[in-house]
Amino acid sequence: MVKPVLVIGGGIAGIQASLDLAEQNIPVYLVDKSPSIGGKMAQLDKTFPTLDCASCILTPKMSAVLRNKNIKLIMYSEVQEVKGRAGEFKVKILKKPTYVDWDKCTGCGSCVEKCPYKAPDEFNLGLTTRKAIYILFPQAVPRKAVIDAEHCVRLNPPPNLRERAKGRPLCGVCSMVCPAKAIDYDMKPEVIELEVAAIIVATGMELYDARNIPEYGYGKYDNVYTHLEFERLVSATGPTRGEIIRRSDKKHPKRIAWIQCVGSRDVRFNHYCSAFCCMAATKQAILAKEHMPEVDCTIYYMDIRAFGKGFNEFVERAKEEFGIKYIRGRVVRIDEDPDTKNLILTYEDTSTSYLKKDEYDMVVLAVAIRPNRVVPPLPLDLNEDGFIKLKDPYLDPVSTTVEGIFVAGVAAGAKDIPDSVTEASAAAARAALIAKGHLEEVVSLADGGGLDG
């Protein structure tokens, strides 16, 4: 008998693992805390080193997940509890209320259009706003609306309005315009209980809060961005429809600086290297050049980590074909010119050992990434950098310290898309064995103990 597998996290790693399992007829539950699968990759514009567009290669995978009858999506949900052992885990999942009955919602967007209340758009990292009822992004899978209870006046009326309403319900526009009658303001959180043979954790990453690094003025200076914000800024589906313009004056920057290792490789914050930022900066500088051939692009770095297939060639191309400048040196601080909102970088150019200053219109910070928090509820061990610990990195490089629970993608350490995808398939191989009842064989490669309970 074939038993189901639980995949936690629907980024590219979780998607690939789910597909690899489902395509061999193993039932999969794919849980994501967000209303759409896609993860970070869905927010990227193009991908290094081939510059193919992230959407073009990701959306077909996302719709393959949706179409596959063996995959059940459990969206807007988080795992609450895991008990049992490999072959028979008992899992409790908390499904947050979306206030929209997804069986009825067709994703037509009428509610979004008419909703009168706005909230920061998390998919675009707050660079723009969305409505209180929203579809995460146009290519979302599944394409369903969600009410953000915090910003919905009906669900969370501000005290002054509540007083005036005198007990009558407020707003209700979305419910009125929904042709499918899908809005349900009384929806409650729901607990789903599952029994699964194996679990793949692919919970990915979040960005380190750049505000913790005071010398770069992120959050204080208008024209300092994170690298992920810049991805949204160059993306055709982004808040500016791909126009690279400054927050302060909506003008095109003429000089852009990228600062690497912001919060990574820094003993004050995170020791590890975030692995993909050097290439992401190189890619973003090329994209800036493609959008605005006159723009001047400079990357401040410690080491250029061009270790993957085609990476070093990509950096050479950036230098030779696109004229992108690389300066080896740490930026000590950024100051803002209060009039122009330009940014003055003070840095040590290690090729001369002199302290120098340079002015830019826009600065992009390669902010460190951090694993999303999963412990607890998952009973896993973490390594000293906070990523999920592997039981035996050599003999079984996708197994966690709990038998039957595997890990893939950035959850196990910073990495790029190809490495995340490979790991996901590897984790699927292991999980498939347990799902098909070959637990002893899995154990033979990596002996370990189960859980109590």
Ligand X SMILES: Cc1cc2nc3c(=O)[nH]c(=O)nc-3n(C[C@H](O)[C@H](O)[C@H](O)COP(=O)(O)OP(=O)(O)OC[C@H]3O[C@@H](n4cnc5c(N)ncnc54)[C@H](O)[C@@H]3O)c2cc1C
Cα–Cα distance for residue pair 377/371, rounded to 1 Å: 15
Q: Closer to another protein by CB, 309 or 356: give it.
A: 309
For residues 360 and 342, the answer to whether their CB atoms sit within 8 Å is yes
- Binding partner of 423, given another protein, ligand X, none, CB within 5-8 angstroms per partner class: another protein
272-311: which residues touch another protein (CB under 8 A)?
Answer: 272-275, 303-311
Taking every pair of Cα atoms in the chain, the longest distance, rounded to a whole number of angstroms, is 71
Using CB under 8 A, which of the segments 56-64, 149-157, 209-217, 332-340 binds another protein?
56-64
Is 50 a binding residue for another protein by CB under 8 A? The answer is yes
CA distances from 250 to 247, 286, 339, 341 (A): 6, 21, 15, 12
Using CB under 6 A, which of the segments 185-193, 347-355, 392-400, 413-421 binds ligand X?
413-421
Q: Closer to ligand X by CB, 154 or 265: give it.
A: 265
The DSSP secondary-structure symbol of 221 reads B
Cα–Cα distance for residue pair 120/127, rounded to 1 Å: 8
- Binding partner of 154, given ligand X, another protein, none, CB within 5-8 angstroms per partner class: none
CA distances from 400 to 83, 224, 230, 418 (A): 15, 38, 34, 21
Is 360 a binding residue for ligand X by CB under 6 A? The answer is no
For residues 357 and 344, the answer to whether their CB atoms sit within 8 Å is yes
Angle in degrees, 0-180, between the axes of helices 277-291 and 227-234, rounded to the nearest 10: 30
Is 34 a binding residue for ligand X by CB under 6 A? The answer is yes
DSSP 83-103: EEETTEEEEEEEEPP-SB-TT
Q: Closer to another protein by CB, 82 or 244: give it.
A: 244
Q: Closer to another protein by CB, 6 or 304: give it.
A: 304
Q: How far is the CB of 77 from another protein (least distance, A)?
A: 20
* Residue 422: φ, ψ to 5°: -60, -45
State the number of binding residues for another protein (CB under 8 A): 89
1-20: which residues touch another protein (CB under 8 A)?
Answer: 12, 16, 20
Is 27 a binding residue for another protein by CB under 8 A? The answer is no
- Binding partner of 27, given ligand X, another protein, none, CB within 5-8 angstroms per partner class: none
Q: How far is the CB of 445 from another protein (least distance, A)?
A: 7
235-294: which residues touch ligand X (CB under 6 A)?
Answer: 276, 280, 283
Strand partners, 369: 207
SS3 56: helix
- The contact set with ligand X (CB under 6 A) reads 8-14, 31-34, 39-41, 44, 47-48, 78-79, 202-205, 227-228, 231, 276, 280, 283, 372, 374, 409-410, 415-417, 420
